[in-house]
Amino acid sequence: MGGLAFVFAGQGTQYTGMGKDFYENSPSSRNVFDILDRIRPGTSSQCFTASKEELSVTENTQPCVFAAEMAAVAALEEKNIRPDAVAGFSLGEISALTYSGLFSLEEWFEFIMKRGVAMNRAAETENGRMAAILRLDADVIRKICATRKKVWPVNYNCPGQTVISGIESSVSEVVEECRKLGGKGIFLSVNGAFHTPLMAEASDTIDTLLEKKTFQTPRFPIYSNVTGEIMETGLLRQRIAEQVKSPVLWSKTIDSMRRDGITMFIEIGPGKVLSGLIRKNFPDAVIANVEDMPSLGNAVEMADRYRR
């Protein structure tokens, strides 16, 4: 038996109804939504009933996905399942930090709302877009991006899948060039050029928001999107701020966790995107997800077997 990690989903996984099953069946999850509704009225209703279009606006996506994830992990805590380490993909990294106890749920939620506004403002400055490129090597994609303006490879998800981000015209050109080489491009449900230098202003805003925060000692090791390694305690503020303008090294993160003895992963939050990426990076891993009551039951059963 190895270690168990919780991994938190990122922006783009949102869907209408996320978190509702937990709200209706888990007292701890309902309490999470009640707390967040007092800070941002209507958050639970937005998670449960808002359209895909409404949920895809960054100012809505980030607090809603965060709420769904914190409700999901609260339901998992009720079952006495806890990890040995945590990580999160992009926005999910904030959920991982919250769960690790660096500061309170309320403080992180207020931070998430301001982070979403800052990123949305930066997104509106440029007409940004993101797309996943499949079936091509990351080096090939990097070379193609270098021939266009304001477009970069930003999410290194797994072998054969790299996400590009930048201004819409350049992203479309790179997608078309990749298609000619046998690749496949899938545009993502986000409204900005995230994890690029175009997010520099948002990064500066986030750094300022964290300036006066006092970080508690994390309950678990937290693996960083920026480095793919465990976050250094003295660099928490820097890593959180630079994350929005830096590539997500997800493939390296999974490799690092595997090296450190993690062999089971529970994906927290809407969808199973990370589960699929983990499987491609680490075929022998034990993987479960928690996004509703049935998946919670399955994850608890798998974790109990794994811990024996």
Contact 188, 91 (CB under 8 A): no
> What distance in Å separates the CA atoms of residue 279 and residue 196, rounded to the nearest whole number?
27
Question: Has 246 been annotated as catalytic?
Answer: no
> What distance in Å separates the CA atoms of residue 151 and residue 170, rounded to the nearest whole number?
6
Give the closest residue to 191 by CA, choosing from 39, 68, 12, 16: 12
Token output for 126? 């440029």
Q: Which residues pair with 267 in a beta bridge?
A: 7, 289
Contact 133, 75 (CB under 8 A): no
Q: Which of 44, 90, 95, 100 is the catalytic position?
A: 90
Token output for 91? 């926005």
Give the closest residue to 149 by CA, choosing from 168, 134, 162: 168
Q: Which of 165, 195, 203, 224 is the catalytic position?
A: 195
**For the chain, how many helices (H) and strands (E)?**
14, 9
> What distance in Å separates the CA atoms of residue 78 and residue 130, rounded to the nearest whole number?
37
Question: Has 256 been annotated as catalytic?
Answer: no
User: How big is the chain, counted in residues?
Assistant: 308
> What distance in Å separates the CA atoms of residue 153 and residue 95, rounded to the nearest whole number?
24
User: Strand runs (DSSP E) across the chain, as ranges?
Assistant: 3-8, 85-88, 128-134, 151-158, 161-167, 184-187, 222-223, 262-268, 286-290
Neighbours of 71 (CB within 10 A): 28
Q: What is the SS3 assignment for 303? A: helix
Q: Which residues are catalytic?
A: 90, 195
